[in-house]
């Protein structure tokens, strides 16, 4: 019997070693899949940033053409300097032939786009703003940008398909590892029970003749205990499976610590953001794995885990917190930390849930930058610009040029009817046109411009050009009115008419005959 026990123990040990080897092999497969995902994601981000920088360069060119401010050319200069290097890096990093083909097609398009941007800037620097605008309106730049966007989108699509394949491999490896761990655990449990059973059988046989009744009682107790252990084991397995599924499928990173602040668990997303695998992180202090700093001061940031363990309350991170991964990469994060309690309510650990908000912050910053750029343009143009609600003609925004033109401040006009500035718009016909404006409605509303009369705050009127276009925001139609004071032009026209009339009167009153010809001898005017 002793030999059988030793043989069983040796077999169990061999199986455990085989299971451990399989788990380590699975870890290696997971690392390879994670590296492939990271490489592909880096390519996608690089291509997206390339397109974004090119858009910024084009936007800066437009700003320079409109304002003549050299500061708008900074994005263009940066793109021109580093574009070839970034494209070369993408080509060297791309492993897929179809993706490299898109990059090969993209190279001449980028050269052509930079040449088009340079040509427009050169015209504007030569004080040929009209030529620059004419070149922009020709649409070549937009056509090139559309082709560039198509090639970059094709490149990104191919890399994202590769990313999906890498993700599928990663998930398959995770499931395989989980199955191996569960299988090894079950085998260990099975052999432990078998080992205990063999010992029990040997003891049973030795004491069978002496303590038969007591042995029977012990057997019944053992069977009852085994049943309870099996039930507890089944319950534990179900709980572990539910926990594993939850942790592996949750969209946030999760880190669990014990009551000393040592890491006990990382889910896959937490491994990705911190750069630590669970095997390396377990047992380490939380501040070693979860390295965070303040984004603005670059000083170490407060980690809420220890306060949660000490006070037993939910804690959160301060704003502008950056997580530095093991490889040095940085991610802006938001998180919260909650205590883990046992059945007696005692704090036995903490769970830290955090997520990458880098993309959200970048989007918010882009929106703020775009809004500031638009506001700067509105504040610097010479023409007055007024935005009003189409259904009732109520003024919503007004730029400084319009304030100077009419003598009102923005606070005086916002919320009031547009007819306060343009008396002509107060008629029922004009109000109806405001409400139903479209490409086929009243000609005086939509177009490049028409003459009308504006009214100054002091009651005086003046001639002006007005051009109106429409837009939709939040399900509401708005009209944008571009206004230009043409008083000086009208005065010049009147002076020309008056001078022409005086000249004709003098010519016709002369007491001699006169004939005027052009350079070719063709009679233009004469008197009799």
> Starting from the edge strand earliest in sequence, which strands make up the sheet with 461-473, in order?
395-398, 384-389, 476-485, 461-473, 450-455
Both tokens of 152, joined, read: 């970059």
Residues of the chain with pLDDT > 90, as a percent, come to 11
Domain ranges of the chain: 30-170, 252-380, 381-485, 491-526
Long-range CB contacts (within 8 A, 24+) of 59-66? 59/373, 61/117, 61/120, 61/121, 62/136, 63/373, 63/377, 64/121, 64/124, 65/120, 65/121, 65/124, 65/129, 65/132, 65/133, 65/136, 66/377, 66/381
Predicted TM-score (pTM) of the model is: 0.35
- What's CA 393's distance to the chain center, in Å? 36
The mean pLDDT value for 232-260 works out to 75
- 478-488: average pLDDT: 88
CATH class of 252-380: alpha beta
Cα(453)–Cα(421) distance, integer angstroms: 9
What are the tens digits of pLDDT across the range 269-296? 989 889 999 999 999 999 899 989 988 8
Q: What is the DSSP string of 246-282?
A: HHHH-SSEEEEEETTSBEEEE-HHHHHHH---HHHHT
What are the residues facing 324 on neighbouring strands? 330
**Worst-scoring range by mean pLDDT, 234-248, 325-339, 397-411?**
234-248
What would the mean pLDDT of 373-385 be, rounded to a whole number?
A: 74
> Which structure tokens are listed for 7?
């043989």
More confident of the two residues 283 and 239: 283
* Equal fold, 252-380 vs 381-485: yes
Kindly indicate the confidence band of residue 334, based on its pLDDT and cuts at 50, 70 and 90. Answer: confident
- Higher-confidence residue of 75 and 364: namely 75
Q: How confident is the model at residue 27 (pLDDT cuts 50, 70, 90)?
A: low
Q: What pLDDT does 343 receive? A: 85
CATH class belonging to 30-170: mainly alpha
Q: What is the mean pLDDT of residues 182-187?
A: 78
CA-to-CA separations, 133 to 58, 117, 129, 140, 469, in angstroms, rounded: 13, 12, 6, 12, 20
Distance CA 87, CA 68 (A): 30
pLDDT digits (tens, 9 = 90+) for 411-433: 998 999 988 888 876 555 455 54
Task: Tokens 């909650």: give the residue.
Answer: 338
pLDDT at 195: 66
Distances (CA, A) of 107 to 94, 152, 160, 491: 15, 11, 21, 55
- Structural domain 381-485, CATH architecture: 2-Layer Sandwich (3.30)
- The C-alpha R_g of the chain, in whole angstroms, comes to 39
């Amino acid at each position: 019997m002793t030999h059988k026990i030793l043989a069983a123990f040796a077999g169990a040990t061999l199986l455990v070693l085989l299971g451990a080897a399989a788990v380590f092999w699975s870890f290696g497969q997971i690392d390879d899949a994670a590296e492939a995902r990271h490489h592909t994601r880096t390519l996608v981000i690089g291509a997206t940033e390339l397109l974004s920088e090119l858009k910024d360069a084009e936007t800066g060119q437009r700003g320079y053409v409109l304002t003549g401010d050299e500061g708008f050319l900074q994005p263009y200069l940066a793109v021109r300097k580093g574009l070839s290097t970034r494209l070369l890096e993408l080509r060297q990093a791309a492993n897929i032939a179809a993706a490299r083909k898109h990059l090969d097609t993209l190279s001449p398009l980028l050269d052509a786009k930079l040449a088009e941007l340079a040509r427009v800037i050169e015209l504007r620097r030569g004080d040929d703003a009209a030529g620059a605008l004419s070149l922009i309106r020709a649409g070549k730049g937009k056509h090139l940008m559309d082709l560039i966007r198509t090639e970059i989108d094709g490149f990104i699509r191919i890399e994202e398909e590769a990313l999906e394949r890498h993700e599928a491999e990663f998930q398959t490896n995770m499931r395989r590892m989980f199955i191996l761990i569960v299988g090894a655990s079950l085998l260990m449990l099975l052999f432990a029970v078998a080992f205990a059973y063999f010992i029990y059988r040997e003891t049973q046989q030795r004491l069978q003749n002496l303590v038969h009744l007591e042995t029977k009682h012990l057997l019944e107790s053992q069977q009852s205990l085994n049943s309870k252990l099996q039930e507890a084991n089944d319950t534990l397995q179900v709980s572990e499976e539910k926990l594993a599924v939850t942790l592996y499928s949750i969209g946030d990173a999760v880190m669990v610590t014990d009551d000393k602040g040592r890491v006990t668990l990382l889910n896959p997303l937490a491994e990705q953001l911190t750069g630590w695998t669970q095997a390396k992180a377990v047992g380490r202090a939380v501040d070693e794995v979860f390295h965070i700093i303040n984004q603005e001061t670059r000083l170490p940031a407060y980690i809420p885990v220890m306060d949660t363990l000490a006070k037993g309350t939910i804690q959160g991170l301060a704003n502008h917190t950056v997580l530095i991964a093991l490889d040095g990469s940085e991610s802006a994060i938001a998180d919260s930390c909650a205590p883990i309690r046992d059945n007696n309510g005692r704090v036995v650990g903490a769970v830290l849930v955090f997520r990458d908000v880098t993309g959200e912050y970048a989007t918010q910053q882009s929106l703020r930058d775009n809004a500031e750029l638009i506001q700067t343009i509105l504040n610097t143009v010479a023409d007055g610009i007024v935005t009003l609600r189409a259904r009732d003609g109520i003024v919503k925004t007004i730029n400084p040029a319009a304030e100077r033109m009419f003598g009102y401040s923005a606070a005086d006009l916002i919320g009031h009817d547009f007819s306060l500035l343009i008396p002509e718009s107060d008629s029922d016909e004009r109000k109806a046109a405001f409400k139903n404006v479209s490409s086929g409605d009243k000609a005086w509303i939509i177009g490049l411009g028409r003459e009308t009369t504006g009214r100054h705050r002091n009651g005086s009127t003046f001639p002006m050009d007005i051009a109106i276009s429409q837009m939709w925001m939040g399900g509401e139609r708005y009209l944008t009115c571009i206004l230009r004071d043409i008083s000086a032009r009208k005065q010049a026209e009147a002076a020309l008419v008056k001078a022409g009339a005086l000249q004709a009167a003098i010519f016709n009153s002369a007491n001699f005959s006169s004939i005027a010809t052009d350079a070719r001898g063709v009679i233009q005017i004469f008197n009799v």
